[in-house]
Amino acid sequence: MVAKQTILIVDDSEMNRAILADMLGGEFDIIEAENGKEGVAMLQKHGPEISLVLLDIVMPEMDGFGVLNMMNKYHWIEDIPVIMISAERGSSHIERAFELGITDFISRPFDALIVHRRVVNTILLYAKQKKLASLVTEQIYEKEHRSSLMIDVLSHIVEFRNGESGLHVRHVHMLTEIMLKALVRRTDRYHLTQTDISVISTASALHDIGKIAIPEEILNKPGRFTDEEFAIMKTHSMEGAKMLEALPFYQDEPLVKAAYEICRWHHERWDGRGYPDGLKEDEIPISAQMVALADVYDALTSERVYKPAFTHDQAVRMILGGECGTFNPLVMDCLRDCADDIQAELAGDDVQRRNQREVQNVARELHKHEELTASERTLELLEHERMKYTFFASLTKEIQFEYTVTPPSLSLTSWGAEKLGLPEIVMDPFQDPQALTIFDPRDRDNLADALHSTTPGNPVVTYDCKLHVGEEERWHRIIARASWSFEEPPRYTGCIGKAMDIHSSRLQLENLERQASHDELTGLLNHAYAKKRIMERMEDRPDGHYALAILDLDYFKSANDTYGHMFGDQVLKYLADRMRRSIRGGDIAARVGGDEFLIFLEYKDDLEATIDGIYNRLAGGRYENFQISVSMGVVSAAEVGTDYDTLFKRADQALYVVKNHGKGHYRYYHKENALMDKAISAVSPIDGEESAPQAQGEEEQV
């Protein structure tokens, strides 16, 4: 696939952009930005797809220097060449632009041929550089990888022949590295660089290759060696050195040199009593000294046919106590320094992880020092992922978004952007007046809080809220995943997510809830739901003053009989309506059933006045020809407690008495009256077969 390369033109004058686009449009894809801020957004969006930026200096919102500052801040300037085009002629401007990393400066008025030539040259130059950089990165990586792989293979062959587990080589490698690092912390006597440490540790794996020349029956002899056998065994160090010396190539490689020293002298001792050469003190190269110690430590802590494995502490004590030969006192100090590290590292001997970390370190170092860019292959992979994502995102009808903290920007899928009436990229969305109208600020803050309080292990947040879409507010469910950096401690870097329109299902749900909680005919709460609310209310604030009233429409049966059930329903609706208007804000009104209703209220100190007010607004007058007469029983929680069923029963009892005492008024339940009421209610049934209602004026005194 040969794609056209993309050039970003950032210039506030449409004329200027058009002239440049015309000059270059044949060979390149052109994207345009009309100020610096938009230019940065484009860079953010298209990233390394952009092969070159043509940048104006004087622009509104953010000028060309602002763009260069951002490109430096986010290191884009390292990958994307910038040619500045400006009518500014002051040399200070030009100088400053070059300091900020531009590749070329073309002053206006410009010549079509020159612009074209310089653009092409710059792009070619960068492409070549990018390719070289990725080649070098990959080769270095490959080389490192291959050589350490070969060394591993080779040393393991030796080990397996030796009947060992293969761990010995790894351990010696790790121990050597740890010890060398400790040594460098203590002294610069040996002039060791980081590279030297890495080379010596890698070479340490080869310390026993000479054993390949030792006859197998001696090498794997279960019992103790005879003197003669031991003499043969001791030749392995010199044999290994000879093998390396015999290599036809690579004699100057630091790795081979280090391996030679290690092979030959890793059995020498500080006091000169080792073999094969009897070197002493610092005649022995430091590489061999370190491997010698590592070799001894690992031999002690491993099980052998002739001995059990010693613990770490025992081994360290034995070495420091001089039981295993004499070592450089400085090296002993290092062992003391890093004894704990050694134990920890060996306990968690996760070689794979270590190697990976190593590779990562190398990669990071390379990146920093050589200013190498991500390899071409990585970019291709990224590009592929981006294409996949864009394709799938374009298929779904969802608002998908990505938010990054630095630079603060919000990107939306094109469908989402259109839906919300926003551009696809919003820089500084928390400052953008248009973006701010999408969310209620409270919802926005809640969501931001929720995302900030996630953890890398549990980063997903679901949040329902209204979004301002088009001309209306619609319910949306936002599912977002916070992004955390890989640092320690992790840093919140933004989030990705989508917003789904759940408006209709939400309304349906609300509707169902409403159906479940409301009386269909009157629209008041139904009894079951009212009871639940009332109980919750009293439970939440048990100290409140509460009262419950139950009321009943007098002569309702005759209304039904005379004018029909349709009319009866109208009357009930009418009364419900009056109830709604009669009660106060926090009161609860409900239809208990039939023509029976309830009102639950909270009062401050004057219950009588409150009840009187409600009753007077409720009763009296007519609906068409039907006289609205209401009987009502009232009980206060102060009288009987806050148990709902008791309240209901007592209020009903009071109502019962009213019904039997001429109707059309109300009455309180009082304990002292209860006995008498009970007697009365026993005598006459409630709501008899009365005829037309009489004027009901009298109210019983309480």
Partner 1 sequence: MTLKECYAAMGGDYEEAMGRLRSERLVQKFVLKFLDDGSYRLLCDSLAAGDRGEAFRAAHTIKGVCGNLAFNTLLESSEALTEALRDGRPPQPGEEDLIRRVQEDYQRTVQAIRTFQEGAPA
Strands 546-553 and 460-469: unpaired
- The residue from 6, 18, 440, 681 that contacts partner 1 (CB under 8 A) is 18
Q: Can you tell me the distance from the alpha carbon of 256 to that of 241, in angstroms, rounded to the nearest whole number?
A: 10
Q: Tell me the C-alpha distance between 207 and 292, whole Å.
A: 9
Shortest approach of partner 1 to residue 112 CB, angstroms?
A: 5
Q: How far is the CB of 489 from partner 1 (least distance, A)?
A: 43
- Least distance between partner 1 and beta carbon 7 (Å): 18
**CB 288 within 8 Å of CB 258:** no
Q: Which stretch binds partner 1 (CB under 8 A): 7-15, 214-222, 440-448, 614-622?
A: 7-15
Please identify which residue in 2, 113, 246, 679 interacts with partner 1, judged by CB under 8 A. 113
Neighbours of 528 (CB within 10 A): 11
Do the beta carbons of residue 173 and residue 204 sit within 8 Å?
Answer: yes
Instruction: DSSP for 394-463, please give it.
Output: HHS-SEEEEEETTTTEEEE-HHHHHHHT--SEEESTTT-HHHHTTB-HHHHHHHHHHHHT-BTTB-EEEE
Candidates 17-25, 72-80, 136-144, 332-340 — which segment interacts with partner 1 by CB under 8 A?
Answer: 17-25
Name the nearest CA neighbour of 699 among 587, 620, 621, 645: 620
Three-class HEC string of 517-585: HECCCCCCEEHHHHHHHHHHHHHHCCCCCEEEEEEEECCHHHHHHHHCHHHHHHHHHHHHHHHHHHCCC
- Of 12-20, 142-150, 298-306, 421-429: span binding partner 1 (CB under 8 A): 12-20
- Beta carbon of residue 27, minimum distance to partner 1 (angstroms, whole number): 15
Out of 78, 111, 365, 464, the only residue in the binding site for partner 1 (CB under 8 A) is 111
- Minimum Å gap between C-beta 89 and partner 1 is 10
Please list the residues that pair with 632 across neighbouring strands.
551, 666
The DSSP call for residue 143 is H
Window 20-39: contact mask with partner 1 (x via CB under 8 A): --xx----------------
13 counts as binding partner 1 under rule CB under 8 A: yes
Task: Answer yes or no: are the C-beta atoms of 80 and 71 closer than 8 Å.
Answer: yes
CB of 436 to partner 1, least distance (A): 25
Does position 15 interact with partner 1 (CB under 8 A)? The reply is yes
Type of residue at 58: V
Contacts (CB under 8 A) with partner 1, residues 277-316: none
CB nearer to partner 1: pick between 108 and 145? 108
User: Of 110 and 401, which has the nearer Cβ to partner 1?
Assistant: 110
In whole angstroms, how far apart are CA 677 and each of 493, 637, 648, 653, 667? 73, 19, 16, 8, 11
Residue 341's φ and ψ, nearest 5 degrees, are -60, -45
| For partner 1, the closer CB: 33 or 77 | 33
What is the closest distance, in whole angstroms, from the C-beta atom of residue 60 to partner 1 in the complex? 6
Binding status of residue 14 toward partner 1 by CB under 8 A: yes
Piece of the chain touching partner 1 by CB under 8 A; list 19-27, 230-238, 388-396, 645-653? 19-27
Smallest gap from Cβ 109 to partner 1, in A, equals: 4
Interacting positions 38-77 with partner 1 (CB under 8 A): 58-60
Distance in angstroms between the alpha carbons of the first and the last residue of the chain: 95
The distance of closest approach from Cβ of residue 86 to partner 1 in the complex, given in angstroms and rounded to an integer, is 8
- Across 287-300, b (16+ Cβ under 10 Å) vs e yields bbbbbbbbbbbbbb
Residue 663's nearest CA partner among 701, 697, 689 is: 697
Which of residues 23 and 549 has its CB atom nearest to partner 1 in the complex? 23
**Amino acid identity of 404?**
T
Residue 108 C-beta: closest distance to partner 1, Å: 5
C-beta separation of 598 from 650 below 8 A: no
* Stretch binding partner 1 (CB under 8 A), from 15-23, 146-154, 189-197, 351-359: 15-23
> 87 vs 305, which CB is nearer to partner 1?
87
Q: Which residue in 1, 2, 91, 109 binds partner 1 (CB under 8 A)?
A: 109
Beta bridge pairs of residue 426: 410
B/e letters for 327-362, b = 16+ CB within 10 Å, e = fewer, are bbebbbebbebbbeebbebbeeeeeeebeeeeeeeb
112 binds partner 1 (CB under 8 A): yes
Number of residues that bind partner 1 (CB under 8 A): 20
**Could you give the CA distance from residue 663 to residue 686 in angstroms, rounded to a whole number?**
10
- Residue 394: CB minimum distance to partner 1, A: 33
Residue closer to partner 1 (CB basis): 1 or 15: 15
Closest approach, Cβ 94 to partner 1, in A, equals: 16
- Regarding 120 and contact with partner 1 (CB under 8 A), the answer is no
Is 495 strand, coil or helix?
strand
**Amino acid in the structure at residue 461:** V
Site for partner 1 in 85-104 (CB under 8 A): 86-87
Q: Name which of 49 and 88 has its Cβ closer to partner 1.
A: 88
Stretches 10-18, 342-350, 576-584, 649-657: which one binds partner 1 (CB under 8 A)?
10-18
SS3 sequence, 12-72?
A: CCHHHHHHHHHHHCCCCEEEEECCHHHHHHHHHHHHHHEEEEEECCCCCCCCHHHHHHHHH
Residue 16 or residue 642: which is nearer to partner 1 going by CB? 16
**CB neighbours of residue 569 within 10 Å:** 13
Q: Which is nearer to partner 1, 58 or 450 (CB)?
A: 58
Element (H, E) at 638: helix 637-640
Q: Which of 110, 126, 297, 484 binds partner 1 (CB under 8 A)?
A: 110
Burial class (CB in 10 A: 0-12, 13-18, 19+), 479: middle
Q: Which is nearer to partner 1, 38 or 49 (CB)?
A: 38
Q: Which lies closer to partner 1 via its Cβ, residue 60 or residue 421?
A: 60
Tokens 């609860």 found at: 588
Q: Which residue in 19, 393, 450, 469 binds partner 1 (CB under 8 A)? A: 19
Q: Site for partner 1 (CB under 8 A): which residue of 4, 73, 108, 388?
A: 108
- Binding window for partner 1 (CB under 8 A); candidates: 106-114, 206-214, 303-311, 652-660: 106-114
- By C-beta, is 86 or 627 nearer to partner 1? 86
- Strands 492-501 and 525-526: what pairing? unpaired
- Span from 13-21, 297-305, 316-324, 573-581 in contact with partner 1 (CB under 8 A): 13-21
Q: Please, what is the minimum distance in Å from the beta carbon of residue 35 to partner 1?
A: 10
Under 8 Å between Cβ of 266 and 260 = no
Compare residues 15 and 153 and give the one whose CB is closer to partner 1. Answer: 15
Backbone angles phi, psi at 2, to 5 degrees: -100, 100
Interface residues with partner 1 (CB under 8 A) are 12-16, 18-19, 22-23, 58-60, 86-87, 108-113
